[in-house]
Chain A
């Protein structure tokens, strides 16, 4: 692989041992994937934050960074943690867990990473630009960056996105290259997608059937950022998909070639329904509604707010919404929150139902409008999950 003089110096340790090992990681991954060179990245989005998912192993990993002080070279943001950094006690998080979680966040902060603690950096002012190269590791944000914004990133792991942030480079392979961004499956949507969860169902169904393949989707009249977010997260979770194109609606759809299409399929009402049926339960003993996977936008909070105008939450059910702390700083948010709190709806920031330990231990039956969350929560044997649209959920838990 071609390296510039500066990159070689970094690799040989002239900028310190920590930079050298991170550079080695970037170069090795590039060599295995037949990259010809390294490319500078504009931003990094780093996973490996929740103490619930990374456990004690993360502290051994941090040993690697204890030798020298190193700082990230590009704007870098953190994925969600296992708790709300302010209201963790209210969530029911133990003090021991909170201490560990704060240590992890602090370690990343020392490296100059912004402690955004969200899976939706693009909802808090960090939208990538068309054609920019990135190293993002949150799988749903990776698909959003590639598909909705037309930026370019592979599905990085926590360590490789951090290595890219510390060196400023990633290897040029796979989704950084135009020829690797061409669709292989054509999907015609022949049913109405009426809710965010319908987009989640499309994503889940597609990913489950076409692991890792890039689709070219036709038949969609529009695609909002919230709809794209649900579609992205579900296809990443069920099928490790990195990129999708939607005819006339995503930035690269006009310039992609359909020469590599190997299969044409239809997404009809019955395919859509199959995802709801897959995550259905006989019982209606929900004890928690969980909204905000990926993190809820102000628009989604407003929909919930408006629904509750003349309704209250039924007893014996909790209603939790997860969002980014930065979303909560707006004035609009604060009035929404005050209103919803009176109705019994709690909003937590920095975390979500997938990466917080409390959801699986405290609640038995979770109702959500996210197919991604449904997939991960149903991995736990003691948790039942029901997947429904937000409207359906709101109607069934209010009076």
Chain B
């Protein structure tokens, strides 16, 4: 088990399988609000769903409509359990607050070399950390 210090933005304690995008995410256009699936064909996660997983990506980009999409994921029951980003900006912060999805940023170490898709990860904003519980992911 390894823990990494983060900055909590939206509070919560959630544990689940990680799904990791190495590319920035535009929630508007890249994520289907009906299914939670990645729609961006240039992303290796294309076709995979972020529903009920810990979704990790470097940063958000694109239209501010992305905030409504994050909220829509929650309404449609396909929201991620939690969000881990390098730097959170207005689109993802707004969406996560409204949808009440735990959100953390500013990890103290390079999470993208530490955490792979499939790993079991816990977000704990009270302790200001994320914990890698099980390494299942394949490089």
Contact = CB atoms under 8 A, between A and B. Distances in A.
A159 B72 CA distance: 13
Given A57-B72, A60-B76, A64-B71, A25 B97 contact: yes
Interface in A38-63: 47-48, 53-58, 60-61, 63
A336 interface: no
Nearest to A139: B64
A239 interface: no
B65 A48 contact: yes
Contacts of A54: 65, 68
Contacts of B64: 47-48, 157-158
Contacts of A21: 97-98
Residue among B64, B75, B98 with most chain A CB within 10 A: B64
Interface residues of B, number: 22
B31 to A, nearest CB: 10
A32 B9 contact: yes
B93 A64 contact: no
A42 to B, nearest CB: 22
A63 B76 CA distance: 11
Contacts of B97: 21, 24-25, 28
B88 A32 contact: yes
Contact of A29 (B69, B71, B93): B93
Contacts of B76: 60
B65 A60 contact: no
A61 B72 contact: yes
A64 B98 contact: yes
B65 A55 contact: yes
B32 to A, nearest CB: 11
A57 B68 contact: yes
Given A57-B28, A61-B71, A25 B33 contact: no
B93 A60 contact: no
Contacts of B71: 57, 60-61, 63-64
Nearest to B34: A56
A53 B71 CA distance: 16
Contacts of B33: 56-57, 60
Residue among A54, A61, A158 with most chain B CB within 10 A: A61
Nearest to A54: B65
Interface in A147-203: 157-160
B123 interface: no
A182 B67 CA distance: 30
A306 B28 CA distance: 43
Contacts of A64: 71, 98
B75 A60 contact: yes
A58 B28 CA distance: 12
Contacts of B91: 157
Contacts of B74: 60
Contacts of B63: 53
Given A53-B63, A53-B65, A32 B93 contact: yes
Contacts of B98: 21, 25, 61, 64, 159
Closest 4 CB pairs of A and B: A60-B72, A57-B68, A60-B75, A157-B64
